[in-house]
């Protein structure tokens, strides 16, 4: 029995497919942390993943709040430039485009990674 979020996520995933030129940025929220991955679905590779548990971010924020979502977005921008990722598709994983998900997406969009 799937939760409403899981059902939404499955429905969204049918439409979103990441490629080498434009990989997918997938976001997951737990109660204490936020996780993000940049995924090339065409080859089945995770280009990189990061979370609020990453060493570089762990001491800078409180875990699962708007500030940490923005910091994670900035970290994604820096890692994407290192890995030569120019553009991504945003996969909100069935979450509402609201709060932490929106904050992370706006930082990534303002950085030029999403159109």
Q: Is residue 56 part of a domain?
A: yes
The pLDDT tens digits for 2-48 are 999 999 999 988 999 999 999 999 999 999 999 999 999 999 999 99
Q: Is residue 36 part of a domain?
A: yes
What is the CATH classification number for the domain harbouring 11?
Answer: 3.30.420.100
Q: Is residue 114 part of a domain?
A: no
DSSP state of 17: -
Percent of the chain residues past pLDDT 70, beyond the cut: 99
Q: Is residue 115 part of a domain?
A: no
Q: Is residue 63 part of a domain?
A: yes
Residue 61 has pLDDT above 80, yes or no: no
- Domain range spanning residue 86? 4-109
Quick one: pLDDT band at residue 1, thresholds 50, 70, 90?
Answer: confident
pTM of the full structure: 0.90
Residue 44: exposure state from Cβ atoms within 10 A (0-12, 13-18, ≥19) = exposed
Cβ atoms within 10 Å of 18's Cβ, excluding its own: 22
Q: Is residue 73 part of a domain?
A: yes
Which of 111, 58, 52 has the alpha carbon at shortest distance from 85? 111
Report the alpha-carbon angle 88-90-96, nearest 5: 170
Q: Is residue 29 part of a domain?
A: yes
Cα dihedral sign for 58, 61, 64, 69? negative
pLDDT at 63: 76
Distance of CA 112 to the CA centre of its chain: 14
Q: What is the tally of structural domains in the chain?
A: 1
The pLDDT tens digits for 94-108 are 999 999 999 999 999
Residue 93 has pLDDT above 90, yes or no: yes
């Amino acid at each position: 029995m799937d939760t409403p979020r899981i059902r939404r996520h499955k429905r969204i995933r049918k439409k979103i497919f990441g490629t080498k030129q434009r990989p997918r940025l997938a976001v997951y929220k737990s109660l204490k942390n936020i996780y993000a991955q940049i995924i090339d679905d065409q080859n089945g590779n995770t280009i990189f993943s990061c979370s609020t548990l990453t060493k570089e971010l762990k001491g800078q924020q409180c875990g699962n709040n708007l500030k940490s979502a923005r910091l994670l977005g900035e970290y994604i921008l820096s890692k994407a430039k290192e890995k030569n990722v120019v553009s991504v598709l945003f996969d909100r994983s069935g979450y509402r485009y609201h709060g932490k998900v929106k904050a992370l997406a706006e930082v990534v969009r303002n950085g030029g990674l999403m159109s």
